[in-house]
Amino acid sequence: MLDRPLVAFDIETIPDPDIGRRMLGLAGSDAEVVHEMVRVRLEETEGNSEYPQLPWHRIVSICATTLDSESGKVSIRALGGEAMDERSHIDGFFHLVSDELESPRLVSWNGSGFDLPVIRYRSMMLGITAPDFYRADGDRRWNSYQNRYHDLHTDVMDVLSGYGASMRIGLGTLGKVLGLPGKAFLDRAIYDHVLDGEGPRVTEYCKLDTVETLLIFLVWAFHAGQLSQRDLCRYVDAVCEAIGTLPYPGWRAIEVGLEGWPAWASSRRPPTRAPQLPSAVSGSSACASPLVHPPGEPGTEGKPLDGRQQQ
């Protein structure tokens, strides 16, 4: 599982107003069209979903948390530009996984059912090519991003559900069970934040999803005997140090919530490494003290739990 760099990724989307105009004959501003698309979808699904079918999603953010398992270095970043510059998000994703890194392991939450299908559909619509991503020769013959029986892409939600044998659950739900701070930074629908010019806030939310996806993957890797407790704690510390470099104020509460995480390992934590820059909250090395749950800012799931529900 940790034989190569890890890329925990996530996308955020809104209903595409251009498709609303072209396919539904809607008129008006982007906000008016998107809200009407949501209304129509709720009517179609008898109130069960406001999310459109997957090709109708417009990508407004793709983020990644990367982990180099050898050096322990962690990076948390957005892969694109402005929220409505969809091409920049997709180009940035393929550049990371095909050019910047060599065959990294992708880690996602419902990436097989939502994120990657949306990326494929939208790439086709925008005329974006990604031949290396679909390569199935050489080192990719027995482990590629496309074969569902390979693990170069690990959809953690799918794996933990027994590939659909049990009910799939949301990232925020399992995160809270495991003691993670939970989803934060948003207080209404993603499309409302984006349409009101708050794309950067959505990007921070997207980053947080990638952080929590990586942390859950690491705990699963420990459970599966693929990661020692010492390395688990080392990687969690590295994640906390990376969070400490992020300027968005909301991350300070996440730092506090991750101190000493996971709680079951805090009393048996290995000796700390050489002193690092002080944490922005506690003034001590990240993840060194008992778990604290901050009163988190409310957020939203931001996407359907299972992309197959959108057929």
Cα–Cα–Cα angle for 88, 213, 262, nearest 5°?
A: 145
For residue 293 the two structure tokens come to: 């749950």
Query: Tell me, what's the pLDDT at 311?
Result: 40
Residue 136 has a pLDDT of: 82
Q: pTM for the full model?
A: 0.86
Q: What is the pLDDT of residue 300?
A: 38
Q: Would you give per-residue pLDDT tens digits along the chain (311 residues)?
A: 888 999 999 999 999 999 999 999 999 999 999 999 999 999 999 999 999 999 999 999 999 999 999 999 999 999 999 999 999 999 999 999 999 998 999 999 999 999 999 999 999 999 999 999 998 887 777 787 887 777 889 999 999 999 899 999 999 999 999 999 988 999 999 999 999 999 999 999 999 999 999 999 999 999 999 999 999 999 999 999 999 999 999 999 999 999 999 999 876 555 544 434 333 333 333 344 333 333 333 333 446 654 444 44
Domains of the chain: 6-16+52-310 (3.30.420.10)
Q: Which residues contact 142 (CB under 8 A, 6 or more apart)?
A: 150
Res 291: pLDDT:
31
| Radius of gyration, alpha carbons of the chain | 19
Backbone angles phi, psi at 187, to 5 degrees: -130, 10
Decide: residue 44, CB within 10 A, 0-12 exposed, 13-18 middle, 19+ buried.
Answer: exposed
DSSP states of 137-162 as a string? SGGGSSS-SS-TT--SEEEHHHHHTT
